[in-house]
Amino acid sequence: MIAKKSVLVVDDDIDLRRVLGRYLSGAGYSVSEAINGTEAIAAFREHPVDVVITDMYMPESDGVDVIMRLRSEFPAARFVAMSGGGFADSPHVLETARQAGALCTLPKPFTRASLLETLTNCLKPHATDTMDANVD
């Protein structure tokens, strides 16, 4: 039996975490959650996952900090950075996330299909360059 791929969803918005959790669980992923970067770093250290999907704007420790700190400890870690929802500098923040080590980006709002496609691409063995979601 093939093990489920695991995903850590990091966002301070509880509603978004729940929706993403339902989408991902429904697609066969094992999902864990963190409410901010500090919690995400601790959770990953305790139980590394296949992919971390992180929001960029969060209290305590933002998405860039999560990516940089975990990449320094776990060079093979994979990250999807997400941002948007009215922030004018979201494209800049997502580019910063790429430079920090995010493999893929998801500008908000995004569709379920875009989320799953991005995650699939990020998990491919040859996925070494940064990729953007094809937003519908």
> What range does the domain containing 48 cover?
6-128
Q: What is the CATH number of the domain that holds 114?
A: 3.40.50.2300
Looking at the domain assignment, is residue 40 inside a domain?
yes
Confidence of residue 35 (pLDDT cuts 50, 70, 90): very high
List the strands of the sheet with 104-108, edge to edge. 30-34, 6-10, 51-55, 79-84, 104-108, 131-132
Looking at the domain assignment, is residue 118 inside a domain?
yes
Confidence (pLDDT) at 2: 57
Query: Which among 131, 25, 123 is positioned nearest to 78, based on CA atoms?
Result: 123
Looking at the domain assignment, is residue 61 inside a domain?
yes
- Joined together, the tokens standing for residue 31 give 């999902």
Looking at the domain assignment, is residue 103 inside a domain?
yes
The residues facing 86 across adjacent strands are none
Looking at the domain assignment, is residue 135 inside a domain?
no
Looking at the domain assignment, is residue 68 inside a domain?
yes
Confidence (pLDDT) at 128: 53
- Percent of the chain scored above 70 by pLDDT? 85
Looking at the domain assignment, is residue 32 inside a domain?
yes
- Percent of the chain scored above 90 by pLDDT? 71
Please state the domain count of the chain: 1
